[in-house]
């Protein structure tokens, strides 16, 4: 499995910097917006970057480990939430509607059969993963199938004219998968990676850690990303990782959500590190290990507002900021256009 991702060209860097710094404002005064505009310009190799037909795709899958009580909610909430998505009642529906962003849902491996008339993309690999305390969550072939399916979904969205994508997830128990992925792929102690998830109290977190630690000590594999994903991942996580790699291959800008989505990106980056060049990081989740994951990836989150809902909601709340970055670089007057005297400061963006 190979994804041919190009490194971002630096050929327009100076022109992009000149355009950003030449706007009618003090140098650097738009802060993070200037960095965002610069990066999207780089990704698109354009001095006038655009966001075209933006989309958010929620991938859903059930987890065998959820049967052991690692979440505040039962596994059935996963499929019930998909019905809520189809009725437009979830937070991700509200925020994607607010910003007129194309919303899609993928059944990557929910333990439920949905009526084909529902607007759910059916890529079900199996009816949930196995409990990784006792066996690998999935086979290597299922893992590879997930990567292929994620890539195919992105190809279809890209063919619809989309150049800007965000990812969401639904899967009770998936913070357990993310914690183990982080621990193994970033070599961080498991205790630092296990958090409250859907709202566990201190005793719940302790129990969750003990269950995951038991599973980790039974694992005889190494830190190869495909081995780690097959052992501890979720069908939604592997599908998102494949989608990310294909999106980078297609030179799409990705707006990365919280802990689960970043765990998929961490795995994807171990397969091809160039995928990171196409990413903007929406926010720092209130899940304790997310900041460790961001630090490991040397990522700078745009927002820190205490969110930990998942579903892609952090990315959607962040989207207007990204949109503002694109708007200013295209529409704000330059000193020359406005007839305003320009400072002679050195023009750089750190």
d(CA 271, CA 241): 9
| Residue 300 annotated in active site | no
Task: Produce one character per residue of 303-330: b if its CB has 16 or more CB atoms within 10 Å, e if not.
Answer: beeebbbbbbbbbbbbbebbeebbebbe
d(CA 273, CA 202): 36
Q: Which run of H or of E encompasses 151? A: helix 140-159
Quickly list DSSP for 27-93.
TTTTTHHHHHHHHHHHHHT-SS----S-EEEEEEE--GGGGGT-SSS-THHHHHHHHHHHTT-SHHH
Residue listed under structure tokens 């969401």 = 168
Q: Is the Cβ–Cβ distance between 287 and 175 less than 8 Å? A: yes
Q: Is the Cβ–Cβ distance between 65 and 176 less than 8 Å? A: yes
Exactly one of 50, 311, 337, 342 is catalytic; name it.
Answer: 311
How far is the CA of 208 from the CAs of 199, 201, 234, in angstroms?
A: 12, 10, 17
Residue listed under structure tokens 């919280």 = 258
**Which tokens hold the place of 243?**
């989608």
d(CA 258, CA 281): 8
Q: Residues with catalytic annotation?
A: 311
């Amino acid at each position: 499995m190979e994804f041919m991702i190009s490194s971002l060209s630096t050929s327009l860097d100076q022109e992009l910097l000149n355009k950003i710094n030449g706007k009618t404002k003090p140098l650097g005064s738009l802060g993070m917006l200037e960095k965002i505009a610069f990066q999207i310009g780089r990704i698109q190799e354009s001095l006038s970057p655009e966001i075209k037909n933006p989309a958010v795709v929620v991938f859903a899958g059930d987890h065998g480990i959820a049967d052991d009580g690692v979440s505040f909610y039962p596994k059935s909430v996963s499929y019930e939430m998909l019905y809520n998505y189809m009725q437009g009642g979830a937070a991700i529906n509200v925020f994607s509607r607010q910003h007129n962003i194309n919303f899609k849902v993928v059944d990557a491996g929910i333990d439920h059969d949905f009526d084909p008339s529902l607007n759910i993309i059916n890529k079900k690999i199996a009816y949930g993963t196995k409990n990784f305390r006792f066996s690998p969550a999935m086979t290597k072939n299922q893992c590879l199938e997930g990567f292929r399916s994620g890539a195919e979904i992105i190809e279809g969205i890209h063919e619809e004219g989309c150049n800007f994508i965000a990812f969401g997830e639904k899967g009770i128990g998936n913070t357990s998968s993310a914690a183990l992925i982080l621990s193994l792929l970033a070599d961080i102690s498991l205790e630092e990676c296990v958090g409250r998830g859907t709202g566990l109290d201190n005793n719940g977190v302790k129990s969750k850690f003990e269950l995951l630690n038991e599973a980790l000590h039974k694992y005889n594999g190494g830190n190869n990303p495909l081995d780690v994903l097959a052992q501890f991942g979720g069908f939604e996580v592997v599908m998102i990782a494949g989608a990310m790699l294909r999106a980078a291959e297609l030179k799409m800008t990705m707006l990365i959500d919280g802990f689960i989505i970043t765990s998929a990106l961490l795995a994807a980056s171990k397969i091809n590190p160039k995928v990171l060049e196409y990413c903007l990081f929406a926010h720092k989740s209130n899940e304790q290990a997310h900041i460790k994951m961001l630090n490991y990836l040397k990522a700078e989150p745009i927002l820190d507002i205490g969110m930990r809902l998942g579903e892609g909601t952090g990315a959607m709340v962040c989207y207007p900021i990204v949109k503002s970055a694109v708007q200013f670089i295209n529409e704000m007057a330059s000193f020359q256009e406005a007839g305003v005297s320009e400072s002679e400061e050195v023009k750089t963006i750190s």
